Structure 1
Amino acid sequence: MSPRPYSSPARQADAQRTRDAILDATARLLPRRGYTRTTMKDIADEAGVSVQSVHLAGTKAALLIAAFERTFAGDDGPHSLTERPAMIEIISRPDADDAMGGWLDYVAHANRATAGLIRAMTVAAETDDLAAASIRDLGTRRRADLGRAAGWLIERGLLDPGEREQATDELNHLVGPETYAFFVTTSGWTDARYRAWLDAALRGLLARSGPRRA
């Protein structure tokens, strides 16, 4: 039997710091230089690690997707947004208006932080099957998260249960990075104007789809 590789908490922490540095470098470089122009050596130089370390961390497409996850939600795991500590705190707030405001603040900040990465992912998906599949997976997971958000609105008495599916689709459009890109990147809106629009759009959705009155 060959010996098992030695692992320790210190070594694991070291490996995680290296991975975090690589993902942060990816998040900085790809929006600035573009997906096709950025090399693994560029990422290694930006992160201050060896090129071998970057290759061991994953392909360029895999690093891009992981960098998006880390920038959007704080880590690069595939688990639901509703399981992340920041979101748990927001949806646990007793006041519904405060919770919705916190959720929209989170979404607006995350969309602003990841706008460049979304553009890079779109380019990557044109030539890289992994990137294209990962983007589809992100879309599936995002809709599932927004289905949970619709369920939360139903539990709070803000949404009619019969409107759950349509509300999920509307929420998906409302908070999606594509909508942010249209208003802020393409149309030149400020982030403050976009955030105000989010609030008005969510309230409009709830006014149309709130609980039916007898």
Structure 2
Amino acid sequence: MSISRTYNSSVRDRDAAETRERIITAAGRLFARDGYFATPMRAIAAEAGVSVQSVHLAGPKSSLLLAAWEHAFAGDEGAHSLLERPAMAQILAEPDSTVALTRFVAFVVEANARGAGIWRAMRTAADADPQVRAAASAQDARRRADLALGAGWFASRGLVDPSNQNIAADVLGFLTAEESFLYFVEDSGWPLERYQEWLLQSIQLLILDGQPTRMS
């Protein structure tokens, strides 16, 4: 293959990736603002500044919804574990557990601020759309697996009794859930700083210091 042909292929791949990112980002904004069913493909195309055909080529609307949430919450697409993604892997590798927990909470706050509205649209759409329901169920399963790994990380640092990791995972899931973010920030009007402080203190009290994992 010639150098020119390789260069042209690289440029096309880069342009395609940039177009897909614009489409997914635009879809996420509209899903969060208007909801899933009120967002037609032509509106996504207009928001992204691309053709309707380009949006259809990027995938069906249900897959765009899942991709938009993954991109907003985790920073990239894919079914791989959140703990494998670079930003989270760096946090978990932090040797100081107190620093790691603070960074983890900050990550969750920023991620929920980006993705909670899209998650709400997904939850609402799942009641009526089988494809969205399947995508949401798959995401729930991956989340529970991530929470189990997260509780395992707490145990590996000596912060949680290894025999009670399941309860720790459940409590962590409740505290970090998009629903909790939406209740406090969107519905109750809390500033992000207050929500972040609440989340950090709640994890320390209910999972670490308070050790709900001691319950039978």
* TM-score for both structures, normalised by structure 1: 0.91
Task: Give yes or no for the alignment of 1:208 onto 2:214.
Answer: no
Find the counterpart in structure 2 of residue 69 from structure 1.
Answer: 70
Contact persistence 2:167–2:212 (CA under 8 A): no
Residues of 2 paired with 1:183 and 1:103: CA distance? Answer: 19
Q: Residue deviations 1:88-117, cap 9 Å, x none?
A: 111111110000000000001111111221
Q: Please list, as runs of the form range in 1=range in 2, the aligned pairs for 1:69-148 lying within 5 A after superposition.
A: 69-148=70-149
**Structure 2: stretches of 5+ with no match in the other structure:** 1-5
Q: Report the more deviating stretch, 100-109 or 121-130.
A: 121-130
Task: Give yes or no for the alignment of 1:175 onto 2:176.
Answer: yes
- Count of residue pairs the alignment pairs up: 207
Task: Give yes or no for the alignment of 1:48 onto 2:49.
Answer: yes
Find the counterpart in structure 2 of residue 194 from structure 1.
Answer: 195
Shift of 1:80: 0.6
Q: Report the 3-state secondary structure (helix = DSSP H, G, I; strand = E; otherwise coil) of the residue aligned with 1:127.
A: coil
Shift of 1:33: 2.5
Contact persistence 1:163–1:209 (CA under 8 A): no
- RMSD (Å) for aligned C-alpha atoms: 1.9
Q: Report the 3-state secondary structure (helix = DSSP H, G, I; strand = E; otherwise coil) of the residue aligned with 2:210.
A: helix
Contact persistence 1:104–1:199 (CA under 8 A): yes
Residues of 1 paired with 2:103 and 2:198: CA distance? Answer: 15
Residues of 1 paired with 2:74 and 2:133: CA distance? Answer: 20
* TM-score for both structures, normalised by structure 2: 0.90
Shift of 1:190: 2.1
Shift of 1:127: 1.8
**Structure 1: stretches of 5+ with no match in the other structure:** 1-5
Shift of 1:189: 2.1
Q: Residue deviations 1:61-105, cap 9 Å, x none?
A: 210110000011111111111111111111111110000000000
Q: Report the 3-state secondary structure (helix = DSSP H, G, I; strand = E; otherwise coil) of the residue aligned with 2:91.
A: helix
Task: Give yes or no for the alignment of 1:159 onto 2:160.
Answer: yes
Residues of 1 paired with 2:113 and 2:161: CA distance? Answer: 31
